Structure 1
Amino acid sequence: MSLVTKAFHSNASAAVILIRAMVGLVFLSEGIQKFLYPEIRGAGRFLKIGLPSPEFLSYFVASFEIVCGILIVLGLFTRLAVLPTITIMLVAIFSTKIPMLPEDGFWSMAHAARTDFSMLLGSIYLLIVGAGPLSIDAVLFWKKSRQQTKT
């Protein structure tokens, strides 16, 4: 089995489609909202939390959220698509949630970060297990891997 085939192969159950739907649709929705409501979800939010080049960065992140969200929902290049989502969530946690700890305390931070942690862990899960059998990855790569193991 080639390295590429291994990267897209998955032994996950068909139920992984639920995790793909949760992670992918949340990222898709959040990316779209950064374009629709830039003052509160996009550049305005990025400016408020002190990120550099907030206008460029918000559209850059939103584009990744939309593209990766769609790829995750479809189960296409899933393991590659979750790499940016993991990065986005780590930046979100470290730039917006961890700074809450000194002033607001752990429980307030934990409450505010619940979606961030869920999206981070869901993305890591998909990185580990792959897209599962109900995915475009399965159609494109599993068939090829089964043929290679037969020869």
Structure 2
Amino acid sequence: MSDPPRRNLFGWITDTKAPAAAILIRLIVGTVFLSEGIQKFLFPAEIGAGRFAKIGLPSPEVLAPFVGVVEISCGALVLLGLATRLAAAPLIGVMLVAIATTKVPILVNRGFWAMAHESRTDWSMLLGALFLLLVGAGPLSLDARLARREASQRPR
């Protein structure tokens, strides 16, 4: 009896258990993050460094562009379905910080229903990115194509 094949890091990154419909999750998560990242540069006072300063984040003039680059690059990777699991991880971090810094104060000051209303996009993006981290990009992705190529090149 032979041992099961070992999964390497590349295998974990490109592996997917998601159905083809996962492309819909990739489209919404990737599009929202890509758009928000771009807007941090287009409207820095409202969405970028100015917003980060307003909510009390440290070094907003450095942090906002950094987050913008993360959102643009990871959003684009999610849209392509390339390194989707890796791209989802920083997006989850971005959403956790966003919820902690902007939605928890609403919960404390205005109550649950105000927070629930204001956090609907953040919550959706967090869960969408978590879904992609757990199950991968799906068969309609560059990750799946790379995984198929690697599997066909393995010695038998």
What is the TM-score of this pair, normalised by structure 1?
0.95
**Cα distance in 1, alignment partners of residues 59 and 13 from structure 2:** 34
Matched, 1:88 2:85: no
Q: 1:25 aligns with which of 6, 25, 31?
A: 31
Deviation at residue 140 of structure 1 after TM alignment = 1.2
**Cα distance in 2, alignment partners of residues 105 and 53 from structure 1:** 29
- In the alignment of these two chains, the number of paired residues is 150
Match of 1:65 in 2: 71
Matched, 1:35 2:41: yes
Whether the 8 Å contact between 1:9 and 1:142 is mirrored in structure 2 is: no
Superposition RMSD in Å: 1.2
- Cα deviation 1:80-114 (Å, max 9, x = unaligned): 00011000000000011011112110000010000
- The letter for the 1-side match of 2:79 is V
**Cα distance in 1, alignment partners of residues 98 and 147 from structure 2:** 33
Matched, 1:52 2:52: no
Whether the 8 Å contact between 1:5 and 1:142 is mirrored in structure 2 is: no
- The letter for the 1-side match of 2:127 is L
What is the TM-score of this pair, normalised by structure 2?
0.92
**Cα distance in 1, alignment partners of residues 82 and 71 from structure 2:** 15
Matched, 1:106 2:112: yes
Q: Which stretch has the larger CA shift, 127-136 or 4-13?
A: 4-13
How many percent identity over aligned positions? Answer: 58
Segments of 5+ residues of structure 1 without an aligned counterpart are: none
- The letter for the 2-side match of 1:87 is G
5 Å matches for 1:133-144? 133-144=139-150
Deviant stretches of 4+, over 3 Å: none
Deviation at residue 37 of structure 1 after TM alignment = 0.2
Segments of 5+ residues of structure 2 without an aligned counterpart are: none
Deviation at residue 54 of structure 1 after TM alignment = 0.4
**Cα distance in 1, alignment partners of residues 92 and 25 from structure 2:** 14
